[in-house]
Structure 1
Amino acid sequence: MRLRKAMAIAVTTIALGLGAVACNDEVPATSAANPAASVTPASAVPGASHTPVPGGASSAGAGAKTSAKPGAPAGTAKPTADASSRCHTGDVTVEVQLQPTSILPNSAMVMVTNKSSRTCTVYGYLGYGGLRADNSAMVLKTSRVAYPGAPMASTLKPGNSAFAGLKWASCDKADPNCNVLAGLTVTPPDETTQVTASVLGDDGKPVDQLLVSAAGFTVGSLQPSHEGVDFTS
């Protein structure tokens, strides 16, 4: 009798042990063997990057048109310079040199100069905004054209410059649609802030007023050389 009870207890113990082993084989969903699903941020995915919305520049071809607000960034034609190598707004100065009427009335050569102590790159188109006499911002339309050709990357050592053409139609100051500008702001490609440009006449003296029609500016592409960037028609 005692032997039968001992055998029954032994069988029960073995069965309980097998049940315990079966339960321990169920791996929790969040364990190292079966980790919970995770979300990878866009910044960690190769090729996923933030690109500012184009305002004064883009990859559009000749004749592409946009309305550029003074605070809008100037985007770029692809490929873009990455944030570490491109010229930021604080790295550059901009000079707008009006051209003689013998070349083309109401046109200018724009020069972007690297004033920083590092080498940086500009590529694409510049964005433009106007300033009124009270220094308030004015919205201007712009038309971008691949002139004298597609944008070319300009790698600027300290003190070096890139160039672009600019032209516009004049207007009667009394016309309510005439943009009477006391100054210009310029946004470098891929940037979201502006630099106030120096505007000089063909005599080298500062110009304090530009009359720009409602059609706004026609903007040429940035080039590493000033050769051929001036609009001639």
Structure 2
Amino acid sequence: MTVRRPAGLAAATVAVLAAAVLLTACDDGAGTGAQPAPTVTVTGAVSAQPTSSGKAAVPGATPTGPLVSQSAGARCAADELKATVQLQEAGSAMVTLTNKGSRTCTLFGYPGYGGLRPDNGADPLPVKREPHPGAPTVITLKPGTTAFSGLKWSSCDKADPSCHVIGGLRLTPPDETKQLTAEVLGLDGKPVLQLPVSAQGLTTGSLQPSNQGVVFAGP
């Protein structure tokens, strides 16, 4: 005699077997010592730092641009500035950048320099940066106000072929490509027509909001 099992009982049996298979698979993972993946908790966000162009830099990346950082829309353009190089002791000068424009702008970093021969021809000079009297700081220049920087060099014999005999300086403000001619004045306040600079070139200090301490000490 054939015994027929109810359809409901067969379905229940299949469900029980499926559950057993699932539990067995879970037990096998635990039995082999496998551990669940650790949970990583982020406790802070890493902020990208702005570059001199105003774009965010990837943390840890090596910077390739100038060592400056400011808002491109607010920075002082070359046309808005007047530059003066006032000689101090032998081989040193105080550089001033005055806002001659009608708007407030900012400066941050180091001036760039190029030499001018007495005939106004370009004289490329090596220029080194030194954080003197301290690291650069953002300077807000209202119309008529001034930023300051130190400049130093070693003198040389004008007859030496490696000596740069310059009659002026071209200055490039931070983050700018346009240059402006800086007026070079002697201790007597009169224009300097010839300035001998050795092959080592110039060393520039950082731009500061005050003239306190910006002049390099003499040799």
What TM-score, normalized by structure 2, do the two folds share? 0.70
What is the aligned-residue RMSD (CA, Å)? 2.0
1:116 lines up with 2:105 in the alignment: no
> Which has the greater radius of gyration?
2
1:140 lines up with 2:125 in the alignment: yes
Offset of 1:84 from its aligned partner? Answer: 1.4
| Of 151, 162, 176, the match for 1:177 | 162
Q: Is the 8 A contact 1:167 1:218 kept in 2?
A: yes
Q: Is the 8 A contact 1:111 1:164 kept in 2?
A: yes
Q: Is the 8 A contact 1:89 1:188 kept in 2?
A: yes
Residue type at the aligned position of 1:94: A
The 3 A distance-change label for structure 1 pair 48 and 224 is closer
Secondary structure at 2:137 match in 1: coil
| Of 69, 73, 83, the match for 1:84 | 73
| Of 192, 200, 216, the match for 1:215 | 200
Distance (whole Å) between structure 1 residues aligned to residue 52 and residue 119 of structure 2: 35
Offset of 1:153 from its aligned partner? Answer: 1.1
Within a 5 Å distance, the mapping from 1:1-233 to structure 2 comes to 51=53, 76-78=66-68, 80-99=69-88, 101=89, 105-233=90-218
Aligned length: 161
Residue type at the aligned position of 2:53: T
Distance (whole Å) between structure 1 residues aligned to residue 197 and residue 190 of structure 2: 19
The 3 A distance-change label for structure 1 pair 48 and 165 is closer
Distance (whole Å) between structure 1 residues aligned to residue 52 and residue 98 of structure 2: 26
Q: Is the 8 A contact 2:52 2:67 kept in 1?
A: no
Distance (whole Å) between structure 2 residues aligned to residue 192 and residue 222 of structure 1: 17
Residue type at the aligned position of 2:174: P
Deviations 1:154-197 (A, max 9, x none): 10000000000000000000000000101100000000010000
Q: Is the 8 A contact 1:106 1:170 kept in 2?
A: yes
What TM-score, normalized by structure 1, do the two folds share? 0.65
Residue type at the aligned position of 2:139: S
Distance (whole Å) between structure 1 residues aligned to residue 181 and residue 189 of structure 2: 17
